[in-house]
Copies of this chain bind each other. A is one copy, B any other.
Amino acid sequence: MSDDSATGHGAPRTVVVKVGGSLVSDKRSDHDIDEAAVLDYARLVADLARSYPGRVVLVAGGGALGHGAVRRKEHDGRLALLPLTRATFAVKWVWTEAFRAVGLPAVPLQAMAMYAEGGDGPMFQTGVVSRLLGTGVLPVLSGDCVLTADGDLRILGSDHVPGILLDGSFGPVRVVALTDVPGIHTGRTGDSPVVPYLDAADPSRAYAYLWPTAAWDTSGAMRGKVDAFVAHAARGAECVIARGDRKAASLRHLMAPMADWPKDLPRTVISRSRPA
């Protein structure tokens, strides 16, 4: 009934790895970024990108720097959110330097320059992402502020950024969020099992499970992530939420069909069809 090449579960063409800010920073601080943690994750993502040249994109969670820029709101008026593009550029640069340290060519790209909304609908101009991938360079994206149809800016959180890549030549796309939980818990405690699969056409079941959002998390924590991933899945992406482990042996399973993932690795898959 479902077409594997569109709904996923086979090996994807492109994996968009989103490393949650919570893994590399303390969101309750405005400036901390844990460069040693970034380096560990960069090493893992670099290994994945070297194993599958031209098929990996990184999205760096904003973490403390991004959240700080939004909280401070030193700007006002219609472009009040603009400092977010500067803050997340700094985050991307930390990642870019980490990739350089581990020998992987990587380039930071400003999402705001490639995406905008408007009366005619959203506009995606991701040709540079394609060309970077075509020459074996890892594109480093992040959350950003983006232009709306009204001429204001709004936050495009890092969980939403993979959506920029769903109208181009990147598919089938798998979006993997590495975060500080192993998926969507079925209970209110961290030792409860996670929901293995969430049907993007009927996400209501998942929302019942969601933990309350912490007030300090401008991205809306897991609720926001599920909203974003349900939207990506509706556009054909296969989305996975899993716990990040900076000391993991490898991330190469991120490119494997879901059936070949380690059996003992908890995760929540959000897509339009149940994995085999």
Residues of A within 8 A of B (CB): 75, 77-79, 82, 85-86, 89, 93, 96, 100, 105-110, 112-116, 118, 123, 125, 127-128, 131-132, 134-137, 147, 150-151
Contacts and interface: CB of A to CB of B under 8 A. Distances in A.
A106 B147 CA distance: 12
Contacts of A105: 77-79
B85 A108 contact: yes
A128 B147 contact: yes
Q: Is the interface of A mostly helix, strand, loop or mixed?
A: mixed
Contacts of A86: 89, 93, 108
Q: Which of A82, A116, A131, A136 is packed against the most chain B CB atoms within 10 Å? A: A131
Contact of A147 (B77, B96, B135): B135
A86 B137 CA distance: 17
Nearest to A150: B135
A82 B96 contact: yes
B113 A114 contact: yes
A79 B93 contact: no
A115 B110 CA distance: 12
B151 A128 contact: no
A92 to B, nearest CB: 9
A117 to B, nearest CB: 8
A129 to B, nearest CB: 9
B123 A136 contact: no
A82 B68 CA distance: 26
Nearest to A86: B93
Given A79-B137, A100-B75, A128-B147, A109 B113 contact: yes
Contact of A151 (B78, B100, B113, B135): B135
Given A113-B114, A137-B79, A147-B135, A128 B125 contact: yes
Given A100-B75, A127-B116, A132 B147 contact: yes
9 contacts: A79-B105, A85-B108, A86-B93, A89-B89, A107-B147, A114-B125, A125-B127, A136-B151, A137-B151
A128 B107 contact: no
